Structure 1
Amino acid sequence: MCPAPAPLPDPGQAVTLDDLVERLRLLKVWADAPSYERITTGINAEWAREGRPEAEMARKTTVVDCFRSGRKRLNTDLVIAIVRALHPDQGYVAQWRQALRAVAGEIVMAAQVRVHDELPGGEQDFVGRETELARLCEAAAGGSVVISALEGMAGVGKTQLALRAATRLASAHPRVLFVDLRGFDPKQPPAAPSAVLDGFLRLLGMPGTEVPHDLPSLVGAYRERAAGVLVVLDNAADEEQVRHLLPGAPGSVAIITSRRSLTGLPAITHLELDVFTAAEAVAFLERAAGDLSLGNDPKALSRIAERCGFLPLALNLIVGHIRAVEGWTLTDHADRLDDRHQRQRLDDGVQLALDASYQRLPEDRRRVLRLVALHPTGEFDSYGAAALTGQDLDDTRVHLEGLRRDHLLQCASGRYSFHDLVREYAAERASDEDPPSARQAARGSLAGYLLATASLAMDVRYPSDTRRRPRVEAAKTATPELTDPDAALTWLEAEHPALVTSVEVGEPLHAVQLSLTVFRHLNRDRWSTALTVSTWALAAARSLGDPVLIARTLHDVTAALLELGRPEDALHVLEEAAELLRTTDDRDGAIRTLVLLGVTDTRLSRFREAADHYYQALELNKATGDQAVEAHILVNLGAVEERLGLNSSAARHLERAQRLYADMGDVDGEAWAIDGLASVEIELGRYDSALEHFTRTLNIYRQRGNVDAEAWCVQGFGLLFSRWGQRDRAEREYTRALAMFRELGDRTGELYVLNGLGEATGDVALLTEALTLATELGSVDQQARAHAGLGHALGSREHYEQAVELYTQLGAPEAEPLRALLATAL
């Protein structure tokens, strides 16, 4: 008999570059292990057909390097070519491209985007474009869905035209949304549509816990809420980035700008912009010049406009320069630009205008411009700018406002940003004028500020976890007042992109400390981001060689994997953490390892093993006296003991956890414990008490906007009424919970409801769907539950036998009554 073929390696399960390299090796084996020479020849033949020059062809040594572990980076282009040479399936190659982006962090970086519910400050000196403005406003007047695609080269004024039109239209729309999609940002990838939709939905009033995670659900939720909304999608990369962001609701308007021709969009008003005409450029300068003396050349404004190439961005920058220089005539400005051009110091209008504006600034303001250009995301508030420059906060604000008035910075919602070309220019100036040590010091100061402020915000927002987070130095520059949980959350959300980027690009110790500090916040509802950030931190911890830090980052990787439904992968990670901690005296780390092992065992339906781990954790925790940790363990233990039929013990543990959380003032923890207690009371037949407890926790979850917990509570009501014999109420509650879980994308919750609703109604289709989903998710106890339900609904001995086998394997109490039923009734 021929052996079964090896499975095709799945790149999507890779967490690190070494994981990808290992899968690349497995793919080579799967493809009958061709020689590196043969792979290289195949790649070059394909590249030659694509027209690549000889100088760019692959070499055998570089191909071999892609198969070596320990790489800090991979040549994505070459790896994709290798995959195509080994298995030229388009779908499989796409999986590798996605995995490479995810491991490299590009997907996570694309998910870091700021959205706004107000328009950035428009320019007061806007002139020209009247024809285009009229067409845009006329198209929107009908109140139908309007898509206006504005296209043109960088600096041609697309954004300003879009903002001008949006300003005119805003009064007719209840909400305005704005986002820079970063389609052509030199330092960051284009914004992911899912991240933009996430932000838009939050601005439109949807609680973060309700925001869906898959793109189709995000689009559906957005379009349900976007009636009458005006959306400005600035700097789009292509049609695909924009397509999902179109509101598509009655009365909504979308205005899009891009350097590319977006011919694939159903544009009602489609405008391609060029530079100003000579007359428009002069009119722009005339309005800006105001009463400034013309001098002896009547054509001075025409000369200035020509030197700026009639490009709106360049003209706008020159305006800032003209206004700020006292005692000069317009002829003086024109002569200066002619002189600089003749000496060929600059080669286009934007650089000419930028240099004129920059040279006019006082040195301390130039320094501010140069250093804020080093911000990793290019968007910052005054505190972040003060950290980069090391200046007093008030002085920093004065400089930022001065740069904004000179059109070198933009501002929206209290946060500053650059036009792409201005940022690139300022960064080049920093590279030329600030020594590497000064630039490194600025980045280090910002990193320290972000870490210190994030630590403060997390302590305020999540006080029960304070002891587990690293203690860090206070910031050396000004920090915002974060005295209440809402203010702390607002700061964490506003700085989310900067925090994530700071982990990726920061020094190893900073990356580890920052990741450990903000992990709980990330792992609330941004599980993929939490996994990527903790994986970056893990690499940094390994470079430091500190076993405690490595173990703690491994814990965070584990927690993220569990949230993503990957318990088998989590188990392997935990095994490494446990091995490392055996060489240390880190009791807290050992306790967390045991707790995570318990959670992992629970997800794998290994309830006895989970209980053992929780009891070990409780014993270790006695020496620390940490009540928050004790309460957390007790709730998890109570849930496991319920599954094992140890209901009296589970009730005692959950009651103590409730008291501990109440003493600590942890409302969320107390509700979690009460929820678990209600479930145990159902098993004990205390239906009135269970109803009282579920009602109490439901009110808490609704008050705090915790929709996921609310859905589980509603599921609990369904189970309660089903056991209580109130079928109609059970069916009603289960149906509500099913809709909630499906909207949330919580497949585990959906599985529990399908089984419960199938039990309550005897619906074979629902139970069959539950069995399929349980098998897909690897949930053995829910597979057994579905088999038991099908056995009852169909009178099937086969299904009952399957349920008994699975329940016996789990050590679950449900096995005995089913075994007795098989012996007597069937």
Structure 2
Amino acid sequence: MPLGERLRELRRTTGMTMEQLSEASGVSVRAISDMERGHIRAPQPRTLAALAEALRVTGAERRRLEEDARALRMHTAAARPRLCEPPRAVTDFVGRCAELDLVRHAAETGSDSSPVPVVVVHGQPGVGKTAFAVRAADLLRDRFPDGRLHVDLRGVDPEPATAGEAATMLLKALDVNPRRIGSTDEERCSQVRATLRDRRCLLVLDNAADEAQLRPLLPGAGPGLVVVTSRRMLGGLEGVLRIGLAPLEPAESAALLRAIAGQAADPAAAGDVETVSRLCGHLPLALRIAGTRLANRSGWTVGNLVARLADADRRLANLHTGDTGVAAAFALSHAQLSGTGAALFRRLAHVPGADFAAPLAGVLTGSDPYDAADRLDELVELGLLQHEGADRYRFHDLIRLFAGERLRVEEPAGMRAATRTRMARWLLETTIVAGRWFEPGYGCLPEGWDGPVPLATLEEAGEWLQAEAGNWLAALRIAAEAGDDQLVVDVAEALHWFSDTMVTWPGWYEVYGLSRTAAARLPDRRLEVVHLNYYSWAATTCVRRLDEGARAALAARRLAVELGDVKEEAWALQYLGTALRFSGRFEEALDAFRRAQHLADLVGDHDGYLQLFQGIGLALMSLGRHVEALAEFRSTLREVRLRPVAPRPALGATLLARFSVAQALVELGRWREAIREAELAMPLAIEYGEPGALGHVHLAIGMARAGLGAAAEARSELNRALELFQGTAHEHVTGEVRSALAALRG
């Protein structure tokens, strides 16, 4: 039975006139008459509920009434032209499961009396915000029988849609009589909010420009849901759920490529598919374009696509098909930048490392860090830059390429070269200042230094050096390419003591490779032997190139003997001994260490002398002579109190001796003594700040706990040691840790 006839029958059954029903329900006589005659579309849920209450309709009869109303709404919607219809959903949507669950949960929290949930989906250009919103609307269509409406707010156009224009479109889509649509933007937005209050609609406001454009359109209480997409975070909106979309996971990228292009589905192409995904930065728009180009060229393999995308200078040009291009998507955000924002954006292409902080951005533009931070936030807001932790930033790989294109187009070569040189020199000068905090002869800021980086303490200096390692290492390459040999040597020398806090970093191999080459070109031959020794240490200890480390140590020793430099000869013998010990040549290593210690003592090199007890002890441990090794380690603890050694070298020597004593006691089966020694080493390791040293402390405690039969405690300590050793040059120790854990499980 049609809805109008059912309403008339129910009214007559109750004996009510239209006027009486109007008075009881609050619905106008005209509206009731139009409904009964079928002259207007189905009433909204609130109107129907008021009529049902007045007619005392309950149970099955009320459900039939609601079903008739729903069927009429669907018939009416199908019969009229569809306005604000969502765009076609992609058939190969992948990933975003967690994010879609968040939208689904938000939809479930809505009710007639609570504020309409608003979800803001934000992210960089090309990350798939619109596709995500359309996918969410499609999955939730059954929850919103009154419709799913989509409005493109044209937020990145030169003239975005006004709230009033969007409201007019929505009112027409919501079947509001054109003659009743308000004459002002404020009136139309108010009508949208009032109309949505009674309707179970899902509203997608796509490509929003800013908060001011959105606020007038957002409904108050009601049973609907609003999904907003924007390149901006829209931080000024309160009480909304924000979902930031990141590039896809590698497996999702591969799945998308396979769904688009048949060539990518061949298992033999898996490696090339992975490479294409990486070259596209796992960005959905780039992946879709790359996949479409591949699918449209039946003669291509995925390898052909890899070859096209491998050229960084042509990659963005190759990520273009038809009227869609990655660079064009970036350009829309770029066009919205202020003049200073655009200058910073292109100059950030000079940054060589993966991430950076505001002071480096300030150097590139000649501004102070606070002004630079404001401009960086502008780039983040437009999706052209990403936050990396609390105060660092990074480019998406493809946006970095776009910034580089803008830099080449907008600045002449001379200006680009000058900016690059200024950046590199600032990085290296700051590196020298920070590194000298760790040198026994310095240990403070130079008088009058007023750089933009906080380096007032050793801890601040160390944090900066670690955070900016990728940038200052690249700057060192720039100085080496320019032939600035003295600067290269000065930087490497300033980092010598700091390197002990990052022993496992493989970058030292390049640092001291560059400084060795630079020192060989300078007139001071002593610098050449010093940096040959540093290079030997890096080759042996940091990257485990043992033959190379031994050859460098032997070359350094020959040159030291030629120059009569006994101190550097001792260091060369020490580094040779380390390479020999790592190579399993323990007797030869022991001999080299003992000769080195004699020479160090002869010339009063107390730092070198103390370190050699460690080398001798470790060689003896490898030979199974644990009692002798224990005596050597304890000699360090005695001598460090007797010799004039600077505080930080003394800390390092004491730490090494303590955990080595613990390890020797473990080998001797003296478990409780080993634990006591390791516990004395623990605060020293924490203060020193080198993960591998702390790992050795936990290893000693774990092995001692295992020896005492405390399996659970041993596993905890050994797992902690494993975490600290992972991904470092201490990986040769991880086999020992895993074997110990396996023994505990057995």
**Larger relative CO (CA 8 A, sep 6+): 1 or 2?**
1
Q: What is the TM-score with the length of structure 2 in the denominator?
A: 0.49
Q: What is the TM-score with the length of structure 1 in the denominator?
A: 0.45
